[in-house]
Amino acid sequence: MSKAVNVPQAPQFPLPFSHYIEAGDFVYVSGQVGVDPATLELVGDTVEEQTRQCVKNLETILNYLNLTLDHVVKMNVFVSDSQHIPAFNKVYAEIVNKPYPARTTCAVGLGSYKIEIDCIAYTKSKRGETA
């Protein structure tokens, strides 16, 4: 059985999706972008600024479940231009602890957003720990 939830503190878009779905011991978090949750305005003009906010939005959703980025086992990263990948990787390495989650990074059309990230978290333990 799965459970879909919207988190009041996370960005509220008028779109048909849930912030996350719990399915067994896993949490599937919908893609987040680099916007301020209160205003839905982009935070910064650079991929670095938008990455930091995007990850904060993911953390808001994970924290709602008493989870952290250390519970994330898989991330899917979408950048608006492949030239943003080195700058993204630099910020990512500063924010996400080792051992890093499995990850896919793709360049796609994102409109005015420079980055979008979704993730899968394992609720029973953090990366590098045993359940």
Q: Which fold has domain 2-8+19-122?
A: 60s Ribosomal Protein L30; Chain: A; (3.30.1330)
Reported as a single tens digit per residue, the pLDDT across 40-53 is 999 999 999 999 99
Cβ atoms within 10 Å of 83's Cβ, excluding its own: 10
Token couple for 100 = 């890093």
What does the domain layout of the chain look like in residue ranges? 2-8+19-122
Reported as a single tens digit per residue, the pLDDT across 62-94 is 999 999 999 999 999 999 999 999 999 999 999
User: CA-based angle 78:79:83, to the nearest 5?
Assistant: 145
